[in-house]
Structures are given as C-alpha cells and as structure tokens.
Amino acid sequence: IPVDPFDLVIFGGTGDLARRKILPALFRRFCAGQMEDNSRIIGAARADMDDAGYRDFVREAIAEFNTGPATCEAGTVDGFLERVGYVAVDAMGEDGWEELGRRMRDRNVVQAFYFSVGPSLFGALAERLHAHGMAGEGTRIVVEKPFGRDEASARALNATLAEHFDESQIYRIDHYLGKETVQNLMAVRFGNMLFEPLWNSQYVDHIQITVAETVGVGGRGEYYDKSGAMRDMMQNHLMQLLCLIAMEPPAKFDPDAVRDEKLKVIRALDPVEPQDIVRGQYTGGDGQPDYRTQVENPDSRTESFVALKARISNWRWAGTPFYLRTGKRLRAKVSEIAVVFKETPHSIFTEDAGRHRNILTIRLQPNEGMDLGVTIKEPGPGGMRLVDVPLDMTFADALGPDAEDVPDAYERLIMDVIRGNQTLFMRGDEVVAAWAWTDPIIAAWEERGEAPKPYDSGSSGPEDALALLHHDGRRWRDIR
C-alpha cells in the first residue's frame, strides 16, 4: 500500500535504536516501495557529521541489522541513501536548528519527528521545534518509551508535549503493538464468532502472559538498573497485551474506540497484593556474569524478572486471574499468551479417560501463530481415552511464504505514523493509568526493602514464581 511522501527527522539519529531498528525498518519499507522519490530521512544528533558521513553510518547499520527481505537487491541501498541526510543539532542549545528549519521549509509532504532520545529531552525538542516553525498542525511526533518512570513524571511529560502538540499529533510507541500477532489477536477475537462468546470468567479459568528473554541487560546496565523489569516491560508491553486480551469489543476499529476500551481495562485492575508478586534477579551461569556484575552495582536490588497475579474487577473477568511474567536470562526466548479454558462441567467418561482443558495459545515469537488444544479420542482399540491435539495455526504454514516475511514492528508503526493512524499507539491517559497501577506495587516493595530472589541464568525464573500458581492449583506453561 503506498503512503504519502514524507520527511522523517530522527532525533538520536546516531543512537542504538536508530541503528538497530529504525533505520533498517525504513530501509525495508523503501524496498517495499513505500518511499516516494521525494520522501526524506534526516538524522539529527549532536555528532559533528555531514550528509555523506551519516549515509556511511546508515549503510553500516543496514549491513549489520537488516534481516531481509530477499527482494531488496544489491544497489538498492544506494537508492535509499539518496533520500538520507543529516543535520547536527544540539537539543538543549541553538546549534543546528536554523539549518533543520531551512531543510523542512516549503515541503509539501507529511512531516514527522522521531524522539529517539531520553525523556529528559522531550520538552526541549518540542520547544525548539515550535520556536523554529516546525510544529505546524500537520506535524507528528513519535516518542519512545520509557514514557516517564511513574505517574507524576508521565503526567509532566504529557503536559510538556501538550504545550506545543495536540494529542492527535503525538505517537507514543510501544513496539509490542506493532507485532503481527498482537494485531492478529484483535482479528481473532473480533473477526470470529467462535471465541468471543466464551471469552469471559464463565468459561476461562485463567490467562497467562509470558515474555521471556534469553538475553541479559547487555550494555544497557545503567538504564536498566534504575528501571527493572516492572518499569521496563510490565508497565508497558505486558500491560498492552493484557489490555488487548481483556478489553470489551470496541464499536469500531478506530484509534479512540480501541484506546477507550484499553483504558477501561487498566482502570479496572485491582491493586496487586504483596503475596501476589515475585521479583527475581539472575545469577551467573553458562559463562555469563550475574546481574550485579553486569550492571556494576554489587548491591543492586533491581529485578530482572517479575511475575504477578492481576485481577480485573469487572463483569467479564471477576474471578479469572491473569498471571503475567517477564524476565531476562531465562531458558528460552518466548512471548506468548495462553487462554486456559475451564474443564467441562461434568465428565461422561470414566476417570482413566482423564480430564482435559482447551488452551488457546497465541505466540508472538518465535513461530508466530496460534494453536488451540482440542480434546479428542486417542485413536486405537484402547477404549475411550482422551488426548489433546493442537489445531495449529502457525502463520507461515497456514498462509504460505508471504507470512514468513512478516514486517518488523517498527516498520508497521512508522508507516502508521505517516498514514496518521494512532490505533497502535498509546494515548496519554493510558500511559498515566498504567503508571497509576504500577506505582503502588513498586512503592510497596521499596518500603519493605525487599531484595529480589536469585534465579539461575537459563532457568524459568525463581522458585517462588512457580509457587504463585501452585497456591491456586495451577501451573505455568513451560518456557521452551
């Protein structure tokens, strides 16, 4: 689908996110024919560099981080680079702003500014864009997480941005919303008759959301040690997944209708009791250093793992717990949502036939797809014995090779910015509500001075996290 010509300025254009994600994503959209001849990408950062220098930087970023697609032929990189430029800009000072303003003037295209910088610079950038005539009505700004570190700071950021931009111009990124399966979740829920009638506490026993990573904190120790898993993952990515799973059907698939329903879910969340949350921190193993060594803070009490039981107090979900967990250095990289249905109310079979439950598993990564466990008779003469078989909807199998070339989350989200579609972006009030739920949880453990439980690298997290479900007569799905 073609998109209008655009100018995209990337503040933090020489940073890690630009290199790993934003620039390769733009390159792939270029390959897919979504960048008209007069579209441009302008890197903006403090580094003293000219257009040619930045093009070299971009070329290297693509060589290192672009994962496909095969249709992008050799030589295409040059075509892409022709659209790339650079302006050295000092976010806190005056240097470079005149020049940036000059380049953006009299361009009859969509203009967007990507704030790929820390939140402490958001205000300064918004201010200077305004002062130099770049904050017109059609302008869009894209802001990265973390959007604040608590409710008060998120509110302050909203207020700062609102001084120069309307909410309809602000695109707060949560890249989980750009993942193909996450959008598919909405298609499955609201495009089929089959699931929605069962999608409530009468039929659903509980829901598990797991985002497990094998990587550690890597070179991001300084940021991460001040955040931890609760702020880095739970408040945003897992919360967004929870919202999409739990929300009421919006009347329309439009930005405010969807975001209104998500907001209602967040506001209906109960506070989390201390016994319903487990924090962990990885120890060394497999030749890898432990968390504290990695973040160079021998006394760190920051969690690299968190698991909790959430409850949504509304008609649909009262009585159905949502178990959420996320962590680093775990056994496997898996992101999945499992909807575990209740057992049949009565079994007509003998006891040795066994009791079974249907489980709908939605896999975000790897092997994106879904499967529905269905109980059938074990084939053969052994009498009526039941087994579970998956109705497998691995996208790549079901939809052919096209499904294998799923666009990266950033590709979709950046193109949505250009199209002016905010459905997959967080609204200011959503982010604030998510922090309002998170803050007391963090405050409670800080007050108790509680240290996170150690867990081995390559494991499924601390033992106590297993107990969280055992107490309720349930068990986590394996991380593998």
CB of 461 to ligand BG6, least distance (A): 16
Q: Is 219 labeled as ligand-binding?
A: no
Handedness of CA 133, 99, 40, 160 (dihedral sign): negative
Taking the C-alpha atoms of residue 406 and residue 179, their distance in angstroms, rounded to an integer, is 9
Q: Is 443 helix (H, G, I), strand (E, B) or coil?
A: helix
Q: Is 12 labeled as ligand-binding?
A: yes
Q: Which residue is nearest to ligand BG6 (CB)?
A: 232
The mark string for 304-343 relative to ligand BG6 (x by CB under 6 A, - otherwise) is: -------------------------------x--------
**Pick 89 or 337: Cβ nearer ligand BG6:** 337
**Pick 112 or 241: Cβ nearer ligand BG6:** 241
What residues from 183 to 202 belong to the interface with ligand BG6 (CB under 6 A)?
none
Q: Is 380 helix (H, G, I), strand (E, B) or coil?
A: coil
**Pick 235 or 460: Cβ nearer ligand BG6:** 235
**Pick 213 or 303: Cβ nearer ligand BG6:** 213
Q: What angle do CA 234, 426, 16 make, to 5 degrees?
A: 70
Q: Is 264 labeled as ligand-binding?
A: no
**Pick 208 or 335: Cβ nearer ligand BG6:** 335
Show the tokens assigned to 148: 């604040």
The mark string for 199-238 relative to ligand BG6 (x by CB under 6 A, - otherwise) is: --------------x------------------x------
Taking the C-alpha atoms of residue 131 and residue 449, their distance in angstroms, rounded to an integer, is 46
Show the tokens assigned to 296: 């160079």
Query: Whose structure tokens read 């689908």?
Result: 1
Task: Tell me how far apart the 2 most distant CA atoms of the chain are, in Å.
Answer: 82
Q: Is 175 labeled as ligand-binding?
A: yes
Kindly state the DSSP code that residue 269 receives in the 8-state scheme. B
Query: Are 321 and 206 spatial neighbours (Cβ–Cβ below 8 Å)?
Result: yes
What residues from 23 to 42 belong to the interface with ligand BG6 (CB under 6 A)?
none
Query: Are 455 and 305 spatial neighbours (Cβ–Cβ below 8 Å)?
Result: yes
303 interacts with ligand BG6 by CB under 6 A: no
The mark string for 249-288 relative to ligand BG6 (x by CB under 6 A, - otherwise) is: ----------------------------------------
**Pick 238 or 359: Cβ nearer ligand BG6:** 238
Instruction: Spot the catalytic one: 132, 164, 206, 237.
Output: 237
CB of 213 to ligand BG6, least distance (A): 6
CB of 323 to ligand BG6, least distance (A): 19
CB of 347 to ligand BG6, least distance (A): 39
CB of 232 to ligand BG6, least distance (A): 5
DSSP letters, 381-440, are: SS-S-EEEEEEEEEHHHHH-GGGGGPPPHHHHHHHHHHHT--TTSB-HHHHHHHHHHHHH
**Pick 366 or 390: Cβ nearer ligand BG6:** 366
Q: Is 412 labeled as ligand-binding?
A: no
CB of 365 to ligand BG6, least distance (A): 6
Active site residue 237: yes
CB of 233 to ligand BG6, least distance (A): 6
Q: Is 346 labeled as ligand-binding?
A: no
Burial, 165: exposed, middle or buried (Cβ in 10 Å; 0-12, 13-18, 19+)? buried
Q: Where are the beta strands (DSSP E) in 213-319?
A: 277-282, 305-310
What residues have CB less than 8 Å from 164, skipping those under 6 apart? 126, 127, 129, 130, 135
Q: Is 145 labeled as ligand-binding?
A: yes
Q: Is 19 labeled as ligand-binding?
A: yes
CA 254, chain centre distance (Å): 20
Residue type at 57 in one-letter notation = F
**Pick 65 or 195: Cβ nearer ligand BG6:** 65
Nearest to 426 by CA among 258, 246, 298, 225: 258
Nearest to 243 by CA among 2, 433, 9, 41: 433
Pairing relation of β-strands 322-327 and 204-212? parallel
Q: Is 179 labeled as ligand-binding?
A: yes
Q: Is 13 labeled as ligand-binding?
A: yes
Query: Are 7 and 112 spatial neighbours (Cβ–Cβ below 8 Å)?
Result: yes
Contact set with ligand BG6 (CB under 6 A):
213, 232, 335
Question: Binding site: residue ranges?
Answer: 12-19, 46, 145, 175, 179, 213, 232, 328, 333
Point out the residues that are catalytic.
237
Annotated binding site for substrate: 175, 179, 213, 232, 328, 333
- Tell me the binding residues for NADP(+): 12-19, 46, 145
